[in-house]
Amino acid sequence: KTMAELSGHSVQLPEMPYESSLNVSFEGPGGIRLHFGAEAALRAWAEAQRSGAARDAVTKVAATRQWQSRAVEVEAADEYDWTFFTDWPGDVLGAPAAWEECASSGIQREMVADRSAPILLFDDLVLYEDELHDFGDMSVSVKFRVMPQCWFLLLRCFCRVDNVVIRVHETRMFHRVGDEYVHREDQHRTVSWEDLASQGRSVDPKDYKEVNRVVPTLPLSAPPQFFRHAVRGSAASSAAAAEEEMAAPEEVVSLDDRVRRQLEFYFSDENLPNDKFMLQQLRKSEDQTMPVFTFLSFNKIKKLMKSAEENPIEIMRRAVRGSSILVVSDDGTMIGRVTPHPLTAQSSELIELASVEAVNLPSGWTLESLREKFAACGEVQEVRLGERDSTVVVQYSSPEQAIRACEELSDSLNWRRGLRVSPLCGFGIPEVRKRLKKLAGKGRSKAGAADEIAAKLNSKNSARGSDGDGLQQQKEWDEERVEPAVAAPLPGRQRGRVVMAKSPYGFIRPLELGDNEGAGDEANLYYRSAAVQDRVRLGKGDEVEYEAFFNETTGKWNAKDVVVIEQRSAAASPLADARASAADDPPVPPRPESFKSRLLPKQFRMAKGPDGTLGFGAGRGRA
């Protein structure tokens, strides 16, 4: 059926409907299936139009009042929700029962946000989108994440009618493995342009194009609604058992176990290669260990230790002693792995020499297929996406293996489209070999066997301080680990103060940061003098208003459309004044006529023709 037949209105499909769809099936007898697709979403929208349920949701553009104020009489149009906005929560197939409303949310957000659990599958599908005849933008999308113990999805309908309203409907679903229910949470957000102006926020439509940034800043128009649905027909009888099972882990897992699991994650093969701070600290130690009090500055450990009633360092010592992959020194001041990670035994320069960059990758490649291909030249430690588009970085256990990959895997015959493998450091292979010789002359590597590290751990009883010394050094270590508190600016215009000003450029510091030294200079926004309104020359201390934007080339936030609010520097003056003062200078007296007459004949030389005449006159060339 066409959209007109389904909705009862003269309407066509949205501009961009997609064939992508998501299906979540529960195996076993009586298992339900959740379906999310563009056709199903548009059918739900059409049903709401036919039933008249969405009649009050008809949105008019900002120019409607001007059209209606004209004296010309026009025929009434067929009114319907032309924005295709829908609160459709997805289809439940294979189950006659409807969603059951609940008093509270069943989504376990701490399980979804657990970074120690790997993400097995993730995707972001757009079902359909429309530009609303250039009056705004709307889209319906679904994101999902699959983890070993649960899965989570977000169905979002976003609609922005410029200078009128922003509407968002979000449906979140969560299921824990072994649970008998799928939990759902609905949220609705609506804000008009008048509300934005009354709140002092930007009213420029271009500030509300990035959906992921805009939606969290919008207020809820109604309290969230909570539902649940049985994954199969016999779930009602086991509801109490499922609730007890969900609550059991929080009661059984002790603080020591949670601290041990968190520390094991920090030292795991999944986290350690990507944690630059830990790699830096472990390489400083000869036995690849870290002080216990260092972990007290980690956010996860801080959160766990809030409920602790005893010494946090003693809790971590006791937790590590019960681990099979971590070891603590006899004096209890250092923590390390039983089997050191190869990356901790290598210097950063050696790791860079052991890494290669691959471009012109074969069609249909995956990280797993590339790992198998590059494993033919040596032991592959890591395969990850490169910083440039369509590039992959492969890290070997030794630089010799990386050199072998560059020589054997590069397709030298097909230099235009063939696979090219080169050292990540940017040097040629001869230069890499020279650097390896220099590193070999500095001494042996830090790598050691597990028994050697255990012996070094036992010999540090007198070298390390006591428990009290570790707690005293915690503050000093916290100051060393502080990271710049640079957050993405909110949409709209912001205020700041000029901290440095030169003729072509300068830096602005947001007023909300004030004198916060923890933010550092990275929080300052770069601006060009050409972006200052009326070409005003700024000085240090001037208060300005600006609009922040992200510079993809430098990877930093910059400022544009800078307007002076208050000038506090003596150097502030328009550049146009300099031009005006130069125009007011007395003119240069003209040269004497006799002087010009003497130069003119010598300035121009006329070319002679074959007959000896000058110029291009009519008589030239005639006998």
Where do the domains of the chain lie?
3-72+80-236, 255-344+449-481, 347-441, 493-579
Question: Which helix (H) or strand (E) is 392 found in, with range?
Answer: strand 392-396
Q: How far is CA 215 from CA 85, 219, 533, in A?
A: 16, 9, 31
Of the two residues 10 and 269, the one the predictor is more confident about is: 269
On whether the CB atoms of residues 152 and 75 are closer than 8 A, the answer is: no
Per-residue confidence (pLDDT) for residue 70, from 0 to 100: 59
Per-residue confidence (pLDDT) for residue 142, from 0 to 100: 94
Residue 88 to residue 90: CA distance in whole angstroms: 6
Per-residue confidence (pLDDT) for residue 237, from 0 to 100: 38
Domain 255-344+449-481 class, CATH top level: mainly alpha
Residue 169 to residue 86: CA distance in whole angstroms: 8
Per-residue confidence (pLDDT) for residue 227, from 0 to 100: 92
Give the confidence band of 1 by pLDDT, cuts at 50, 70, 90: low
Cβ-count burial 56-79 (b if 16+ within 10 Å, e if not): ebebebeeeeeeeeeeeeeeeeee
- Token representation of residue 475: 């503050």
Of the two residues 477 and 384, the one the predictor is more confident about is: 384
Query: How is domain 347-441 classified at the CATH fold level?
Result: Alpha-Beta Plaits (3.30.70)
% of the chain with per-residue pLDDT over 90: 9
Contacting residues for 376 by C-beta, under 8 A, at least 6 apart:
408, 409
Radius of gyration of the chain (CA): 35
Backbone φ/ψ region at 204: left (φ over 0), alpha (ψ -120 to 50), beta? beta
Mean pLDDT of 204-208: 85
Residue 146 to residue 304: CA distance in whole angstroms: 26
Cβ-count burial 588-607 (b if 16+ within 10 Å, e if not): eeeeeeeeeeeeeeeeeeee
Per-residue confidence (pLDDT) for residue 186, from 0 to 100: 93
Residue 427 to residue 435: CA distance in whole angstroms: 10
CB-based contacts of 69-77 (< 8 A; 24+ apart in sequence): none
Other beta carbons within 10 Å of 505: 14
pLDDT digits (tens, 9 = 90+) for 428-470: 888 888 888 877 765 444 444 444 544 544 554 344 444 444 4
Give the confidence band of 76 by pLDDT, cuts at 50, 70, 90: low
Chain centroid, CA 422 distance in Å: 28
| Among 284-288, 493-497, 521-525, the range of highest mean pLDDT | 493-497
% of the chain with per-residue pLDDT over 70: 70
Per-residue confidence (pLDDT) for residue 63, from 0 to 100: 65
Per-residue confidence (pLDDT) for residue 117, from 0 to 100: 86
Mean pLDDT of 409-416: 81
Cα four-point dihedral sign 78, 82, 88, 91: positive
501 has which bridge partners? 506
Contacting residues for 405 by C-beta, under 8 A, at least 6 apart:
356, 374, 377, 378, 394, 396, 421
Of the two residues 523 and 403, the one the predictor is more confident about is: 403
* Residue appearing with tokens 């779930």: 235
Residue 468 to residue 293: CA distance in whole angstroms: 10
Q: With CA atoms as reference, report the closest residue to 437 among 479, 404, 399, 471.
A: 399
Per-residue confidence (pLDDT) for residue 7, from 0 to 100: 55
Asked if the model's pLDDT at residue 515 lies above 80, the reply is no
Asked if the model's pLDDT at residue 53 lies above 60, the reply is no
Residues in the chain: 623
185: exposed, middle or buried (Cβ count in 10 Å: 0-12, 13-18, 19+): buried
Extended strands (E) in 529-609: 536-537, 543-551, 556-566, 573-574
Tell me which amino acid residue 11 is.
V
429 secondary structure, DSSP code: H
pLDDT digits (tens, 9 = 90+) for 318-369: 888 888 888 888 888 888 888 877 666 566 677 778 889 998 888 777 778 8
Residue 157 to residue 150: CA distance in whole angstroms: 24
Contacting residues for 395 by C-beta, under 8 A, at least 6 apart:
351, 354, 355, 380, 381, 382, 383, 384
* pTM of model > 0.75: no
Residue 439 to residue 431: CA distance in whole angstroms: 13
On whether the CB atoms of residues 157 and 182 are closer than 8 A, the answer is: no
Give the confidence band of 580 by pLDDT, cuts at 50, 70, 90: very low
The domain 493-579 is classified under which CATH number: 3.10.20.30, 3.40.50.1220, 2.40.50.140, 2.40.340.10?
2.40.50.140
Give the three-class secondary structure for 529. Answer: helix
Asked if the model's pLDDT at residue 56 lies above 70, the reply is no
Asked if the model's pLDDT at residue 623 lies above 70, the reply is no
Residue 71 to residue 87: CA distance in whole angstroms: 38
Q: With CA atoms as reference, report the closest residue to 219 among 186, 190, 199.
A: 190
Mean pLDDT of 553-575: 75
Q: For the residues of 29-84, what is the DSSP string, one character each? A: TT--EEEEEHHHHHHHHHHHHHHTTTGGG----TTHHHHHTSS---PPP----TT-
Per-residue confidence (pLDDT) for residue 325, from 0 to 100: 87
Residue 421 to residue 391: CA distance in whole angstroms: 10
Residue 210 to residue 488: CA distance in whole angstroms: 12
**The pairing of beta strand 493-501 with beta strand 505-510:** antiparallel
Per-residue confidence (pLDDT) for residue 75, from 0 to 100: 54
HEC sequence for 132-195: HHHCEEEEEEEEEEECCCEEEEEEEEEEEECCCEEEEEEEEEEEECCCCEEEEEEEEEEEEHHH
Per-residue confidence (pLDDT) for residue 276, from 0 to 100: 74
- Token representation of residue 271: 């986290």
Give the three-class secondary structure for 229. Answer: strand
Of 541-545, 559-563, 619-623, which range is least confident? Answer: 619-623
pLDDT digits (tens, 9 = 90+) for 480-498: 443 434 556 656 788 899 9
Per the prediction, the chain carries an average pLDDT of 76
